[in-house]
Structure 1
Amino acid sequence: MKLTPKQKKFADEYIKTGNATQSAIEAGYSKKTAQVIGAENLSKPMVKSYIEKCMAEIASNRVMSYTEAVELLTSIARGEEKETVVVSTPIGVEEVEKEPDTKTRIIAVREILKRYPNNDKLVEQQIRKISAEADIAEANAREVTDNGTANEIRVIGFDRRAEEDERS
C-alpha cells in the first residue's frame, strides 16, 4: 500500500521538524485533530518505513564513503589539494593557497597504503627514505640565516644507510 499525498507530506515535514503535530498541520490536517493524526501517522508501518528510509538516506549522504576518503587522500598525496594559509609580507598579511607539505603528502600515502593488503616492506622502506629526506630538507630550511643564505648541513652516511635499509 502506498502513502497518500497527505501522509507523504506529513512524513516529509516530520523529517524536517521532528514535530508530529506541526507536521500534520503543515500536511493539511485539521488543527483540532493534528495531535492525534500525527501520532497515528507515526504508528502506521508505511509512514514509519518511509521516514526511516529517508532518514537513512540523509545519514548516508553525510558520511564520507571509502572511495571518497581514498580519493581525498590521493589528491593530497599528489599535491592537488590546496590549503589557504596566512602569510606575513612587508606590507601586511595576505592569504595564499599552497600545496600540502612533504610530510603531509607522506602521511596521505601511508594512509592509502594501509588500505591495500599487498603493502610490502619495499614500499615501507621507500617511505622511510622519503621521510628522512623530508626531515633533512626541513632541517636545512631551519638553518637559513637572517640574510637569506643557507648554512650547509652535511649528513654523512645517509645514502649508505638508505641503501642498507632497501636491501633488508
Structure 2
Amino acid sequence: MVVANAMKLTEKQNRFVDYYIELGNATQAAIKAGYSKKTARSVGSENLTKPDIKRAIEKKMKKLEDAKIAKAEEVLQLYSRILRGEESEKSAVATPKGVEVVETPADLKTRLSAGKELMKRYPAMDPMTAEQIRKLKADADLAELKAKREADGDAQDNIIMNFNRTDGRNTDDNSN
C-alpha cells in the first residue's frame, strides 16, 4: 500500500528528528536543527504533531532499539559458549610485580547456571520438567473426567487412578 501525501522531510526536519532523539527536548532539538531561538519552542512542539516527523522519529527509535536489544538466538548462543567453556572473562590479579590482567574461562558454577538457563528454554530435554508436565496433564485429565461425570449427573468422587512412579519409590509407601 502506497501512502499518498507522504512528504519527504527537509534537511532541517531530519536534523530535528536526530536531535530530538538525542536530546528528548523539542525546543533544544529545534534550536540545534537550525530553527530560530525565538520560535524554537512552538516549532518544536508543532514538529512533534506532524505525521511525517512522528513516523521518522518512531522509525529511527525502532531501528535503535532493534540494534541494542539482543535477540533470543544471540542469548542462546552466549549460554552455549559459556556452557562449553568457550567464553572467558578478564580479571585483575595481584602479583609480586604488580597487577596483571588474566583471562580465565567461566567457572563451574557459571557454566552450570548457563546450562540451567538453556534447559529452561528446551523443556523437552529436561527430565524434571517432563515429569512436571506429565503430572499437570494427569491433573487436567482428572479434572476433565470429574467435570464430565458431574455434567452427566454421576457426581461420584470415587475415581481411582494408578500412577507409575519413575523415581523408584513405591506409590503405596506414604513415608516420604
TM over 0.5: yes
Is it true that 1:84 corresponds to 2:90 in the alignment? yes
User: How large is the Cα RMSD of the aligned pairs?
Assistant: 2.6
Higher relative contact order (CA 8 A, sep 6+): 1
What is the correspondence of 1:15-164 to structure 2 with a 5 Å cutoff? 15-121=21-127
Call closer, same or farther: CA 1:89–1:9 in 2, change over 3 Å: closer
The C-alpha deviation readout for 1:72-112, integer Å capped at 9, x for no partner, is 11111111111123334455543321111222212212211
Decide whether the 8 Å contact of 2:119 with 2:126 is kept in 1: no
Structure 1 runs not aligned, ≥5 long:
125-166
Q: Deviations over 1:130-168 (max 9, x none)?
A: xxxxxxxxxxxxxxxxxxxxxxxxxxxxxxxxxxxxx96
Count of matched residue positions in the alignment of Structure 1 and Structure 2: 126
- Identity value in percent: 49
CA separation of 1:22/1:120 partners in 2, compared to 1, >3 Å: closer, same or farther? closer
**Larger CA deviation: 19-28 vs 39-48:** 19-28
Alignment check: 8 A CA contact 2:19 2:29 kept: yes
Compared with structure 1, are the counterparts of its residues 33 and 77 closer, same or farther at alpha carbon in structure 2 (3 Å cutoff)?
same
Distance, in Å, in 1 between the alignment partners of 2:83 and 2:118 is 9
Distance 1:22 1:87 in 2: 47
Q: Distance in 2 between matches of 1:88 and 1:39?
A: 57
Output the CA distance in 2 between the equivalents of 1:45 and 1:80: 49
CA distance in 2, matches of 1:11, 1:27: 9
The TM-score normalised by the length of structure 1 is: 0.64
Mean CA deviation greater in 11-20 or 55-64: 55-64
Residues 106, 9 of structure 1: alpha-carbon distance in 2 compared, 3 angstrom cutoff: same
